[in-house]
Amino acid sequence: MPYIGQGASSRYVTRNAVQQFNGDGSTTAFTLNQTVTADQDILVSVDGVIQDNSAYTVSNGTTMTFSPAPSSGTANIFVNFMGLSTATVTPPAANKGTFSGGSIFRTNVQSLTTSVSISATENANCTGPLEVASGVTLTVASGGRLTVL
């Protein structure tokens, strides 16, 4: 079906945040709140000085270990996550619809079995015929629209 604009995304991508630590002059291991796959996935600064990735290692993806221990200070260690976080967008089952014919045809049931209200600020449509089951109410508020194709 043609549309105007960009298609719906199947995933989202976002920039990761910065994590801060307090150095005490003796602690060498710090736990990251995000997993990294390589030392180069983060940019680390101590007391405002960017550290070469030979100054630290990330052994298991979440434990950053310095050699030697960074200096003492409040929020003097900054870890900038360089990679993008990617995840899958999965719409709720109720929004996916059902398809047949190799996903060419969108299908829907022909009988409404639960009461539904379409508010004054909503538009709704379905492909008919549409039967409203006994005891079920379909309410379309003034200003709302329901189209049965």
pLDDT tens-digit series, residues 66-95: 999 999 999 999 999 887 666 677 777 766
Q: What's the chain's length in residues?
A: 149
User: Residue 117 above 80 pLDDT?
Assistant: yes
Q: CA 36 to CA 21: how far, in whole Å?
A: 17
**Could you give the count of Cα atoms lying within 13 Å of 87 in the half-sphere of its Cβ?**
7
Distance, CA of 61 to CA of 48 (rounded, Å) = 24
Q: Write out the H or E segment, with its range, that includes residue 81.
A: strand 73-81
d(CA 32, CA 66) in angstroms, rounded, equals 13
H or E element that contains 96: helix 93-96
How confident is the model over 120-145, as a mean pLDDT? 93
